[in-house]
Amino acid sequence: MKLKMIIADDEYNVREGLKDVVEWDKLDIEVAATAADGPELLDLCTRLQPDIVLTDIRMPELDGLQAADYLRSSGSSVRIVIISGVQDFHYAKTALNLKADGYILKPIKVDELETVMLEVAESVRRERSREEREQRLKRQLQENLPALRERFLAGLASGMFRGEEELASKLRFFGLSEFAERSVIAAALTIDDYEEAVERFSEENRQLIMFSVSNILEEIAQRHRSVIVFSPHENQFVALFFHQDGLAVRHMDILKEMLDSTSTYLKMSLSAGVGNTVDRIVDVRYSCLEAKLALDYRFFTGNGAILPIGDFSEGRVHIDFSRIYEQQNKLIHNMKLGKVEEVGVTITKIFEEIGKDCSYPISYVQSVGVEMINMASRAFHEMGENVEAVFPDLPEVITELYRQHHISDLVGRMQEIFRIVTQFFLRKNNRKNSGIINKIKTIIDRSYMENVTVGRLAEEVYLSPNYISLIFRQETGTTVTEYVTKVRMEAAKELLKSPDLKVLEVAEMIGYENATYFSTVFKKYTGMHPQKYRSLFIME
């Protein structure tokens, strides 16, 4: 683009000569007009807005220096080149004070004129390029202002700005000066179970989710005065609630509106941690840290919660650790016995007791679960079993416990693990018990005619009377005594078919010393007395 220039000289021939003596096109300069005096020059400058003025120092009415002085004082950025004779040299020094861009001495030499004008033209272009670059940067700054504002607020939340002067300057730049002297409460919001929710999404969709959540939170913030929302990182949102006219803003109500709106419009659950009030914005990092800490207690409360840090920083609730240890031992005992239902109930009781005090670190609660896994593993080894038969990768099972985000998830996973372990022992016990039961039945079948008692059977199988009574009933649905009676009664039925044997003899042969008692038991078992039963076969 050519530069516009006005030539001013009171002599017509000089003006025309200056137009023709230089090939201005080669210098990318266009002679837009000529002026015969100072007033005409100023009028042309107002109308044409030239880039360069080439003016003689001596002109009627208003000379070149006076015109230059007027242009400078009016704020014009036009470049001025002064032409003067030798006799005006000292007078022309004034041009230096006026910050003239070039000075040419008469008689004019063409090569000198071209050199000076080329330098001035290049200077104009450099300045124009600088201005364009500056304007471009300003436009980019305006375009990126939201992102810069987010970065500033993220730095503010992390404590990057400690100096009050620096902070005040940045607050002014981002149009946030009104919040400089107000108390503030910070809230940290996050999408619940975010990684699981978006693991199948493309990066574009993940960013779309973040934008949608930010948009909803920002719209709500704009409806309420004194609320600022920003997102320092993926799935991290911060809301700053500033006191207004000395009164605390209704931050809990606004947070509930935010959580309800994201649930309604995006079908996504958010949780929010809330820090304590700080008196100065420069200290907002402390409230932000508390808000993030409060979010960790979502482990105890579950998703979709608003968690003020004050609710978790009060005195601890008493936990009966002796009861927890007792329940853990009961858990392992029931596991060994294969009692699946009791094991599940015990796990729930253990974590309900721990969950009474939400001030314990999440890692501690998780470590209780790990301890229970280790107790189960020790039980395997003590019983000569290989835990890898149930869990080939036990370290991964333990690592998975530390990945549980909520206590309910941890309890669910623990119950699943112990259900598998307990069923292993149940199957093992069933196989073992089946052998024991068969052995007991065999002993009874061969010695029912003797005084068969639970104590005697226990001695023969090397187990306690209570244990064999328990497993016999579990496996057969009947007691040992009932089974002995059944065997005796079936034997009696066969013996009564023989007419040569008396009822008393039959009773003694199957182990009863009292015939009357035998008859009572037989009637209860078959529904008829021994004599009547025998008569059925004699009639035949």
Mean pLDDT in order along the chain per 10 residues (540 residues) = 92 91 92 93 94 89 85 89 72 59 86 93 92 86 79 87 82 85 92 81 85 93 90 92 76 94 92 92 90 86 88 62 83 87 90 76 83 88 82 86 85 91 82 80 87 85 83 85 91 88 88 89 91 78
pTM: 0.56
Answer CATH for 431-539 from 2.40.110.10, 3.90.550.10, 1.10.10.60, 2.40.37.10: 1.10.10.60
Under the phi-then-psi rule, with left for phi > 0, alpha for psi from -120 to 50, and beta for the rest, what region is 228?
Answer: beta
Q: What is the fold of 3-141?
A: Rossmann fold (3.40.50)
Angle at 537 between CA 536 and CA 540, to 5 degrees: 95
Identity at 389, one-letter amino acid code:
A
Rounded CA-CA distance 522/176 in Å is 99
CB neighbourhood size of 156 (10 A): 25
Q: What SS3 class is residue 267?
A: coil
Rounded CA-CA distance 354/411 in Å is 11
CB neighbourhood size of 57 (10 A): 25
Nearest to 118, CA basis, from 23, 200, 38, 7: 23
Rounded CA-CA distance 163/159 in Å is 10
DSSP code of 272? E
Rounded CA-CA distance 6/48 in Å is 9
Task: Write the CATH number of the domain with boundaries 146-312.
Answer: 3.30.70.270
Contacts of residue 304, defined as CB under 8 A and 6 or more positions apart, other chains included, come to 192, 259, 263, 269, 270, 271
What is the helix (H) or strand (E) element at residue 107, kind and residue range?
none
Rounded CA-CA distance 358/354 in Å is 8
Q: Which residues pair with 33 in a beta bridge?
A: 6
Tokens read off for 44: 């042309």
Contacts of residue 21, defined as CB under 8 A and 6 or more positions apart, other chains included, come to 108, 110, 113
CB neighbourhood size of 327 (10 A): 20
User: Which pLDDT score is estimated for 91?
Assistant: 60
Domain boundaries, the chain: 3-141, 146-312, 321-427, 431-539
Angle at 358 between CA 353 and CA 362, to 5 degrees: 95
Nearest to 53, CA basis, from 91, 107, 87, 74: 74
What is the helix (H) or strand (E) element at residue 308, kind and residue range?
strand 306-308
- Evaluate whether 278 touches 228 at the Cβ level (below 8 Å): no
Q: How many residues does the chain have?
A: 540
Nearest to 65, CA basis, from 32, 102, 94, 103: 94
| C-alpha distances in Å from residue 374, one per residue of 118, 179, 216, 368, 404 | 87, 54, 46, 10, 18
